[in-house]
Chain A
Amino acid sequence: MRANFIFSEVWIGLRRNLTMTIAVVITVAVGMAMLGVGLMINAQVGMMTSYWYDKVEVSVFLCTKNSDMPACKGKAVTQAQTQALKKQIEGLPGVEQVFYEDQATAYKNFQEAYANNKAMVDATKVEDMPTSFRVKLVNPDNYQPVIQALEGQPGVSQVVNQKDLISQFFTMLDKVRWGAIVVAVVLVLAAALLIGNTVRLSAFNRRRETGIMRLVGASNLYIQLPFIMEGMIAGLIGGVAAAIMLIVTKVLLFDEVAQFLSSGGAVIGWDDLASVITLTMIIGVVICVLASFVTLRRYLRV
């Protein structure tokens, strides 16, 4: 009985201010979508840092059987070559520490990095993994001499400067993420102001009814609830719209670009997306309810 009354009041209120309600929905939707994109990029970046990312600066990959690298000339690295290389690397000035990654360990790290890309993991066998030396430098910026010394040595397929490879990409990604978050904050502010305006208009339109409700002794909650629910419903619809946009973004953008990412296919999964969507919807609704409540305190005499 009471619920019926409140719902009918909410419905009437929404219809009367339809254009403003739509404006609120759109603003909340885009704002939350931006916030979601920022969060998704965050999650993606988290996935992309591999096991060695912040531990070493230089990776020296050794030849596997059937390696395509020209330096290997089709031959796998031998035990003797591996030992020699280890001594050489340890002897280089500027080298702080050397780690050896065998095929089993390499495979384990690979599995963890590409946990979301089952196809790729299944297609790769332990024997396909290259062994490598992971080198930590005394001065991370002084990688050139190390690379030069090791490139072309027998058994070495490739020498890679980790930071160089990844940092450029991460810088760009960082900029995109910050951009998305700034846009989100601005839009959330705009949404809050819009909701304030909508609630004010709604309260003004219904001042006759609310005046009589007060006189007749309706409780404050009864009087305020329809307005707060209007805000909440607008927030919910906006949140759902944002969720749809985020799903589309994941499928069209993230999954496609995944092939080009240096993590080579490790991309955020559906469960990450689910938590991002839940968070943005909660934030959307909370902002709407808060904005409605604050506006009501100012403009509705109770």
Chain B
Amino acid sequence: MIHFDNVTKVYANQNRPALDHVSVDVDKGEFVFLVGSSGSGKSTFLRLILKEERPNSGAIHVAGKDLSRLSNFKVPHLRRRIGCVFQDFRLLPNKNVYENVAFALEVIGKPRRFIRKVVPEVIELVGLEGKAHRMPNELSGGEQQRVAMARAFVNRPMILLADEPTGNIDPATSIGIMKVLDRINRTGTTVVMATHDAAIVDSMRKRVVELEDGKIVRDQSRGVYGQAY
């Protein structure tokens, strides 16, 4: 599903590469934790999958497509099949829960009938039934992140990328968030999650890929967060 082949990314005005000859394969339906300290290249990795950034060298394949040969015109179509969740939720503040989730479908031109059917289903999946008309500022952090996940998942993407989704959430609520992610993963969606959260990684025992200074130092199935911890 995701194939990185000797990928290097150097940002302008920086000496050290953000990613340094990284090669990794993620299969369909896998759940992968991407761990590492700040600046190790986790966010860069995710942005390369979305084609928000282009690698300086190496090849990236997503769902069988070579990203370097994907025209700018086709990039939106790629992104429709990838869902994203962020640490800062990125909800629209003047739309309620239903509208926030529906937005993702409206902007790609889905008909209203489809939206009305699908959005309530996914709101229920993330455990927010009954709160569809709340505004984001009326929700707790955990609930807001669930809305973000509903929005990321509503179009049934192949891949779900999560960039430190529990970063702004207390440990107890984080467990709930991870349960939703697990539920999403079980429907067949490939999940790649970048995180600092040692407790979560240790409790779920999924594949762990550890980055340090842009290089992969560990790739362990059923791994824990780190040896030093």
Q: Which residues of A contact B (CB under 8 A)?
A: 1-2, 5, 208-209, 211-220, 222-223
A211–B90 contact, CB under 8 A? yes
Nearest CB in chain B to that of A211: its residue: B90
A212 proximity list for chain B (CB < 8 A) = 90, 92, 103-104
B103 proximity list for chain A (CB < 8 A) = 212, 216
Contacting residue for B80 out of A1, A5, A217, A223, CB 8 A: A217
A216–B109 contact, CB under 8 A? no
A219 proximity list for chain B (CB < 8 A) = 76, 108
Q: Is B107 close to A, CB under 8 A? A: yes
B106–A5 contact, CB under 8 A? yes
B109 proximity list for chain A (CB < 8 A) = 1-2, 222
B78-93 vs A: 1/0 string, CB under 8 Å?
Answer: 1111101000001011
Contacting residue for B84 out of A209, A213, A215, A222, CB 8 A: A215
> Apart from A213-B107, A220-B76, what 15 extra A-B contacts exist at CB < 8 Å?
A1-B109, A5-B106, A208-B92, A212-B90, A212-B104, A215-B50, A215-B79, A216-B103, A217-B78, A217-B81, A218-B108, A219-B76, A219-B108, A220-B72, A223-B107
Q: Offer 10 A-B interface pairs, CB within 8 angstroms, sorted by A.
A: A2-B109, A5-B106, A208-B92, A209-B92, A218-B76, A219-B76, A220-B72, A222-B108, A222-B109, A223-B107
A1–B111 contact, CB under 8 A? yes
Within the complex, the shortest CB–CB distance from B161 to chain A, in Å, comes to 10
A217–B76 contact, CB under 8 A? yes
Nearest CB in chain B to that of A1: its residue: B111
Nearest CB in chain A to that of B111: its residue: A1
B81 proximity list for chain A (CB < 8 A) = 217
B90–A216 contact, CB under 8 A? no
Interface centre among A1, A5, A209, A217 (most CB of B within 10 A): A217
In Å, the complex CA distance between A213 and B103 comes to: 8
Within the complex, the shortest CB–CB distance from A278 to chain B, in Å, comes to 34
Q: Is B112 close to A, CB under 8 A? A: yes
Contacting residue for B112 out of A1, A211, A218, A220, CB 8 A: A1
A2 proximity list for chain B (CB < 8 A) = 109
B90–A218 contact, CB under 8 A? no
A1 proximity list for chain B (CB < 8 A) = 109, 111-112
B107-128 vs A: 1/0 string, CB under 8 Å?
Answer: 1110110000000000000000
Top 4 nearest A-B pairs (CB, nearest first) are A217-B80, A217-B79, A218-B107, A216-B104
In Å, the complex CA distance between A146 and B103 comes to: 85
In Å, the complex CA distance between A209 and B106 comes to: 12
Interface centre among B50, B73, B77, B109 (most CB of A within 10 A): B109
B78 proximity list for chain A (CB < 8 A) = 217
In Å, the complex CA distance between A1 and B114 comes to: 11
B111 proximity list for chain A (CB < 8 A) = 1
A215 proximity list for chain B (CB < 8 A) = 50, 79, 84, 90
A214 proximity list for chain B (CB < 8 A) = 76, 79
B108–A217 contact, CB under 8 A? yes
The verdict on A216 contacting B92 (CB below 8 Å), with A2-B109, A5-B106, A222-B107 known, is no
Within the complex, the shortest CB–CB distance from B43 to chain A, in Å, comes to 14
In Å, the complex CA distance between A213 and B100 comes to: 11
The verdict on A217 contacting B90 (CB below 8 Å), with A1-B109, A1-B111 known, is no
Nearest CB in chain B to that of A212: its residue: B90
A217 proximity list for chain B (CB < 8 A) = 76-82, 108
In Å, the complex CA distance between A29 and B15 comes to: 54
In Å, the complex CA distance between A2 and B109 comes to: 6
A223 proximity list for chain B (CB < 8 A) = 107
A209 proximity list for chain B (CB < 8 A) = 92
Within 8 A of A (CB), among B55-86: 72-73, 76-82, 84
Within the complex, the shortest CB–CB distance from A218 to chain B, in Å, comes to 4
In Å, the complex CA distance between A209 and B82 comes to: 18
In Å, the complex CA distance between A216 and B82 comes to: 8
Within the complex, the shortest CB–CB distance from B50 to chain A, in Å, comes to 8
B79 proximity list for chain A (CB < 8 A) = 214-217
In Å, the complex CA distance between A211 and B88 comes to: 13
B92 proximity list for chain A (CB < 8 A) = 208-209, 212
B107–A5 contact, CB under 8 A? yes
Within the complex, the shortest CB–CB distance from B87 to chain A, in Å, comes to 14
Within the complex, the shortest CB–CB distance from B200 to chain A, in Å, comes to 24
Within the complex, the shortest CB–CB distance from A145 to chain B, in Å, comes to 77
B77 proximity list for chain A (CB < 8 A) = 217
B106 proximity list for chain A (CB < 8 A) = 5
Nearest CB in chain B to that of A220: its residue: B76
Within the complex, the shortest CB–CB distance from B78 to chain A, in Å, comes to 7
Within the complex, the shortest CB–CB distance from A225 to chain B, in Å, comes to 11
B112–A216 contact, CB under 8 A? no
Within the complex, the shortest CB–CB distance from B94 to chain A, in Å, comes to 10
